[in-house]
């Protein structure tokens, strides 16, 4: 049995099929973890979503910002962006089942020393706190008021964690932290504008995983979201968004021996 962790797919179904074939992936024997952003911007988000739902017994996928965006668009709370490629899902006969399955995916997955999430963590959270707060958001998404959360999900405030946060502000911060984080300001608050690589960062910004004394430093964290960062394998973090959508690669990381596998992708 092998466990493969795959970075952002974003609807690139052809690349996913090619990678699975190269891995000789066996749904009975193997497991596939996905760091979020199953859908959007690629050519066939519908096929990716259908494959994942059909392989629910061997797939663990956390939610990314594009997945949450799909749920909000489907409910009419925000219009599609110009570059979105979600129409096939929204018009599909099995749309309701697909969206229901997606809404019940975890925000974070923990197995032993490994912690998988889409983007990053605020420095105040250790692994236990991250799991606890991710659970808060999961219950909101799966509960009777899930539409209320999606309706008011968008926004950049609050930018700094406090245990005193409550209601929609608390849920919005948790969602932003888990699905949008790349850099932090020096005070630990979330920063959303800078998306380029480490060599271009302003001096007053710190990658979330290099923030001094972050409390999650004793966990091994798998994440995606940051295509300009590329593949990065360290003892504490493994970054797996290698820009498949932009003509880079789709990457799988095998947990058992920490070996990486890649297939090249065509730019969309």
First-to-final CA distance of the chain: 33
Measuring CA to CA, which residue among 39, 36, 127, 142 is closest to residue 84? 39
CA distance 223 to 241: 8
For the whole model, what pTM was predicted? 0.97
Q: Is 184 exposed, middle or buried (0-12, 13-18, 19+ CB in 10 A)?
A: buried
Which two three-digit tokens encode residue 179? 């699905």
User: Is-contact 86 39, C-beta < 8 A?
Assistant: yes
Q: What is the DSSP string of 171-233?
A: HHHHHHHHHH-SEEETTS-EE-S--S-GGG--TTEEEGGGSTT-TTTTSEEEE---TTT--EE
| CB half-sphere exposure, 128, CA atoms < 13 A | 0
How far does CA 122 lie from the centroid of its chain?
15
pLDDT tens string, the chain, 268 residues long: the values are 999 999 999 999 999 999 999 999 999 999 999 999 999 999 999 999 999 999 999 999 999 999 999 999 999 999 999 999 999 999 999 999 999 999 999 999 999 999 999 999 999 999 999 999 999 999 999 999 999 999 999 999 999 999 999 999 999 999 999 999 999 999 999 999 999 899 888 889 999 999 999 999 999 999 999 999 999 999 999 999 999 999 999 999 999 999 999 999 987 6
Residues 6 or more apart whose CB falls under 8 angstroms from that of 93 comprise none
Type and span of the H or E element at 259: strand 259-264
Assess if CATH 3.60.21.10 describes domain 3-264: yes
Domain positions in the chain are 3-264
């Amino acid at each position: 049995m092998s466990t493969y962790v795959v970075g952002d797919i974003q609807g690139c179904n052809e690349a996913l099929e090619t990678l699975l074939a190269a891995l000789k992936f066996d749904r009975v024997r193997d497991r596939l973890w996905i760091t979020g952003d199953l859908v959007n911007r690629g050519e066939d988000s519908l096929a990716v979503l259908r494959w994942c739902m059909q392989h629910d017994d061997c797939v663990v996928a956390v939610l990314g910002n594009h997945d949450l965006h799909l749920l909000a668009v489907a409910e009419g709370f925000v219009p599609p962006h110009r570059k979105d490629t979600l129409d096939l899902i929204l018009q599909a006969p099995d749309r309701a089942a697909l969206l229901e399955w997606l809404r019940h995916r975890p925000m974070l997955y923990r197995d032993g020393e490994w912690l998988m999430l889409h983007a990053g963590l605020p420095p105040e959270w250790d692994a236990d706190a991250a799991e606890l707060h991710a659970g808060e958001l999961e219950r909101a998404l799966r509960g009777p008021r899930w539409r209320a959360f999606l309706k008011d999900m968008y926004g950049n405030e609050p930018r700094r964690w406090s245990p005193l946060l409550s209601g929609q502000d608390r849920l919005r911060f948790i969602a932003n932290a888990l699905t949008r984080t790349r850099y932090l300001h020096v005070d630990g608050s979330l920063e959303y504008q800078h998306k380029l690589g480490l060599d271009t960062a302003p001096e007053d910004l710190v990658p979330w995983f290099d923030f001094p004394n972050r409390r999650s430093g004793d966990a091994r964290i798998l994440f995606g979201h940051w295509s300009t960062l590329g593949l990065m394998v360290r003892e504490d973090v493994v970054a797996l968004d290698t820009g498949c959508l932009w003509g880079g690669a789709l990457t799988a990381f095998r947990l058992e021996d920490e070996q990486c596998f890649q297939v090249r992708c065509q730019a969309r």
